[in-house]
Structure 1
Amino acid sequence: MLAACVSTGVNVTPEHLSNFLPGFSTIDDVTTQLGTPTSQVTLKSGSTILIYSFATSRPHPESFIPFIGPLFAGGEIRSSTVLFEFDENGVLRSQRRTTSSGASGWSVLPSDAM
Structure 2
Amino acid sequence: MKHCCALVASGIVTSLLAACGGITRGQPIDHDRLASFRPGVTTAAEVERSLGPPLEVTREPGGDTYLKYLYATERLSKYAQIPVVSEFSRRGHAVYNGDTVYLHFDAQGRLLDTKEYTQHFDSRDPLPNGPIAAESH
Please give the TM-score of this superposition, normalised by the length of structure 2.
0.64
Match of 2:102 in 1: 83
Question: Mind listing any 5+ residue stretches in structure 2 that lack a counterpart?
Answer: 1-17, 126-137
Identity of aligned residues (%): 25
Range with bigger deviation, 10-19 or 34-43? 10-19
SS at match of 2:61: coil
Task: Work out which of the residue numbers 23, 37, 52 in structure 1 matches 2:40.
Answer: 23
Match of 2:92 in 1: 73
Instruction: Give the structure with the higher percent strand.
Output: 1
Matched residues in 1 for 2:116 and 2:32: separation?
A: 12
Please give the TM-score of this superposition, normalised by the length of structure 1.
0.75
Once the two structures are TM-superposed, the CA of residue 59 in structure 1 deviates from its matched residue by 2.1
SS at match of 2:49: helix
Highest CA radius of gyration, 1 or 2? 2
Aligned residues: 104
Q: 1:25 to 1:32 in 2, by over 3 A?
A: same
Instruction: Give the structure with the higher percent helix.
Output: 2
Matched residues in 1 for 2:102 and 2:80: separation?
A: 35
Match of 1:100 in 2: 119
C-alpha RMSD over aligned residues = 2.6
Q: Which runs of 4+ in 1 moved over 4 A?
A: 61-64, 68-71
Once the two structures are TM-superposed, the CA of residue 16 in structure 1 deviates from its matched residue by 2.8
Match of 2:55 in 1: 38
The reply on whether 1:53 has 2:82 as its aligned counterpart is no
Q: Between the two structures, name the one with larger relative contact order (CA 8 Å, sep ≥ 6).
A: 1
Match of 1:112 in 2: none
Matched residues in 2 for 1:89 and 1:81: separation?
A: 24
Q: Is the 8 A contact 2:79 2:93 kept in 1?
A: no
Once the two structures are TM-superposed, the CA of residue 105 in structure 1 deviates from its matched residue by 5.1
Q: Is the 8 A contact 1:55 1:80 kept in 2?
A: yes
Once the two structures are TM-superposed, the CA of residue 7 in structure 1 deviates from its matched residue by 1.2
